Amino acid sequence: MNKTVPVQKNDYIEVVFEDLTHDGAGVAKVDGYPLFVPNGLPGEKAKIKVIKVNKGYGFGRLMELLDQSPYRVEAPCSIYKECGGCQLQHLSYEGQIQAKEKHVQDVIARIGKLNNVKIHPVLGMAEPWRYRNKAQVPIGEQEGGLIGGFYQQRTHKIIDMTECLIQQEKNDEVVQAVKEICSKYGVRAYDEGRHKGDLRHIMTRYGLTTGEVMIVLVTRTSELPNKKKIVEEINAQIKGVKSIIQNINPKKTNVIMGDETKVLSGDEVIYDYIGDIKFAISARSFYQVNPEQTKVLYEKALEYAGLTGVETVIDAYCGIGTISLFLAQKAKKVHGVEIVPEAIADAKRNAELNRLTNVEFAVGGAETVIPRWYNEGVKADVLVVDPPRKGCDEKLLETILAMKPKKVVYVSCNPATLARDLRVLEDGGYKTVEVQPVDMFPQTMHVECVAKLELKL
């Protein structure tokens, strides 16, 4: 063992937690050496047992709370301690908002080296429960019947559940009914070890505004026992079902969806709204899971874009066109780009659905398509990016700096990569004016941000 590490495995020590990790564990330090302890909250004093020691950090188990945070609450979910879906139910919502704000401030300063940026208070939810419009539930078996829930933390053991407090109630109702119907008709759960069985996942989508329900049965093979009877019974039992889909995934993989999708009943899509924009949502569409907060996030992006009707806008990583269509309401022209062909097909359909003719979509990587547009003479007044967790591609950042749009609006699901990319854009001639965090996923450590950048003159 490296002698510079100040603790040993199985030590019992007293610590004070200073912070939270990105997955909600308490952070304590012993002579500068960080220990990560699940269930610890900032400001709390506790007795912990050291359970693992690495060179740069270690892990502990909370044994006894000696001094409790005023923000600690009893988690309302009965399976919270076993389930890996949420990390912060033991922290009051006020405490969660404070923790997320501090996290954004810390990474913008530490990674982005930006100390004078205006970071606004987090925009939270009035009701931070029951917000998710999509459930994806792995299916297993127990005593002859089907079970479905979430995986236990860091395992592939399924914790059966009848309700999830961050899901729309309708999704709970649908999952429970479909489990019972499939059990009744002899459907076997997929066994990932033996690569046998029928049903891998039940996925449901719920249109918050329209009340429409989509049910997706993800199966290992194209055959599903008693398929016709199952579909009839789902339609008879569950109100609002507009679409029953079978997705076939024959591969040995952790990826949920396979390549083949067929409609068993109803339509290929359901519809929902974010603000005034209507969206067609297919089984494989990427659609934000918290539409109420998505509206807050996109309205902030629209405000930061400051459109007057004469601007050309480029939306990198445009997905199914959610931000593009918001921007098209106020811009002269919007160009959207996305690497997933199905998402672009959805984006084009959504533009037609909303009769927006001033928006064009292209398939490809933003880092290759946008330089091509630039060479073809497309000059963006405003460029919007909403990249995946890994942040913007280096080549895309170089293109932004070459193209020099007056404004960049950066929508981010990862404050750390946002901070890194803001530093690159600052060094290339932009000023970060302000950052607005938005709480899209209450009860978890995730926080989204919108940043406004302007070209320095």
Give residues with Cβ within 8 angstroms of 13, minimum separation 6: 7, 30, 47, 48, 50
Residues of the chain with CATH 3.40.50.150: 98-126+290-455
What is the model's pLDDT at position 1?
A: 45
∠ Cα 396 399 403 (to 5°) = 140
449 is catalytic: no
Residues of the chain with CATH 2.40.50.1070: 134-274
- What does CATH list as the number for 98-126+290-455? 3.40.50.150
Sign of CA pseudo-dihedral 128, 133, 138, 144: positive
Secondary structure of 150-172 as H, E, C letters:
EEECCCCCEEECCCCCCECHHHH
What is the model's pLDDT at position 39?
A: 94
C-alpha–C-alpha distance, residues 50 and 130, integer Å: 36
What is the model's pLDDT at position 150?
A: 86
Inter-helix orientation angle 394-403/415-427, to 10°: 40
How many C-beta neighbours within 10 Å does residue 50 have? 21
- Single out the residue of 161, 177, 180 nearest to residue 79, CA to CA: 161
Q: In a structure prediction context, what are the per-residue pLDDT tens digits for the chain, which is 457 residues long?
A: 445 899 999 999 999 999 999 889 999 999 999 999 999 999 999 999 999 999 999 999 999 999 999 999 999 999 998 887 899 999 999 999 999 999 999 999 999 999 999 999 999 999 999 999 999 999 999 887 899 988 887 777 898 999 999 999 999 999 999 999 999 999 999 998 899 999 999 999 999 999 999 999 999 999 999 999 999 999 999 999 999 999 999 999 989 999 999 999 999 999 999 999 999 999 988 899 999 999 999 999 999 999 999 999 999 999 999 999 999 999 999 999 999 998 999 999 999 999 999 999 999 999 899 999 998 999 899 999 999 999 999 999 999 999 999 999 999 999 999 999 999 999 999 999 999 999 999 999 999 999 999 999 7
Q: Which of 83, 164, 413, 449 is catalytic?
A: 413
DSSP secondary structure letter of residue 72: B
Which amino acid is residue 57, in one-letter code?
Y
What is the model's pLDDT at position 3?
A: 59
C-alpha–C-alpha distance, residues 251 and 258, integer Å: 8
Domain 12-67 annotated CATH 2.40.50.140: yes
Residues of the chain with CATH 2.40.50.140: 12-67
312: enclosing H helix or E strand: strand 312-316
Residue-by-residue DSSP string for 187-246:
PPBPBTTTTB-SEEEEEEEE-TTT--EEEEEEESSS--TTHHHHHHHHHHHSTTEEEEEE
Out of 2.40.50.1070, 2.102.10.10, 3.60.21.10, 3.40.50.360, which CATH number does the structure's domain 134-274 have?
2.40.50.1070
Length of the chain: 457
